[in-house]
Structure 1
Amino acid sequence: MVTINQTALADFLSAKDDSPIVMLNLLRFDPDGGRQRHHEYLEMAAPILARFGAKILFRGDGLPVLTDGDVKMWDAVLLVQYPSRAAFMAMVEDPEYQVAFQVGKSALVDIVLQPLKQTEIFG
């Protein structure tokens, strides 16, 4: 089920940081046509993402997990870059995106959204 933690979202959006962010999307599809509906969502969302300066950096299908422990296999991963937190929120609130989001939401049985901030690599 796709639900957003409103407290985590508010904390994320309240940060005084206008640097680009990358949103990691770990996706598990509904076995009854979820993968196809996700492709429909991506087609609907692509021009909306572009309008807000966002772009898909990577999309890939999950392969078997190589680590032990309490791990889940994910069907697909998306990395989407947004120019800022404000751009992400503006897109999410956009009425056209809300229509696409309903299609995307119907495709999934589980999702993890993890915002990422680039750090410098030393070494």
Structure 2
Amino acid sequence: MEVVNQVMPTAARAMAFFGGAEDGPFVMVNLLKFKAQAEYADGSGAGLTGAEAYARYGAGVRKLVEGLGGKVRYSGAVTGLMLGEVEELWDLVALAEYPSLAAFRAMAMSPEMHAIEHHRKAGLAGQLNIRTKPGKGF
């Protein structure tokens, strides 16, 4: 299995994701890898780590998620790997629950998201976003 961290989806990937069938609530699993130092396009944020820049984004996105009726369910540092192999571990795992794909799309396209996304881009080296659907367990 090849794993490719990305900061932004391709246009085709975004269209396929948002063009999917609406099927109610879902949880997004976010596997995050931070830059050692934040890289703001305008040169601001000197001295911030990537994790610190992303934390600015995280504080803003939490408000957006909760404002649309969602919840940040979990956020924690990756501290080890028991099974499998990866070249590098992710730095953080976050789980966010959204009421619907439409709500997630509205948040992603909102002016409020646009106002904070520069912190995300400054701090992230890459990430995986995995959409999951609550089930009956295993």
Q: TM-score, with normalisation over the residues of structure 1?
A: 0.88
**Ranges in structure 1 where 5+ consecutive residues have no aligned partner:** none
SS of aligned partner of 1:79? strand
Task: Select between 95-104 and 8-17 the one with higher mean Cα deviation.
Answer: 8-17
- Are the equivalent residues in 1 in contact too, given 2:72–2:97 (CA < 8 A)? yes
**Ranges in structure 2 where 5+ consecutive residues have no aligned partner:** 1-5, 38-48
- Are the equivalent residues in 2 in contact too, given 1:18–1:86 (CA < 8 A)? no
1:120 corresponds to:
136
* 1:79 CA drift (Å): 0.5
1:101 corresponds to:
117
* 1:30 CA drift (Å): 0.8
* 1:35 CA drift (Å): 1.0
2:85 corresponds to:
69
- Are the equivalent residues in 1 in contact too, given 2:22–2:102 (CA < 8 A)? no
Percent of counterpart pairs with the same letter? Answer: 27
Aligned length: 122
- Are the equivalent residues in 2 in contact too, given 1:65–1:72 (CA < 8 A)? no
More helix by share: 1
1:25 corresponds to:
30
Letter in 2 for 1:19: G
> What are the equivalent positions in structure 2 for 1:12-91 lying under 5 Å apart?
12-32=17-37, 33-70=49-86, 72-91=88-107
Distance 1:95 1:48 in 2: 11
SS of aligned partner of 1:23? strand
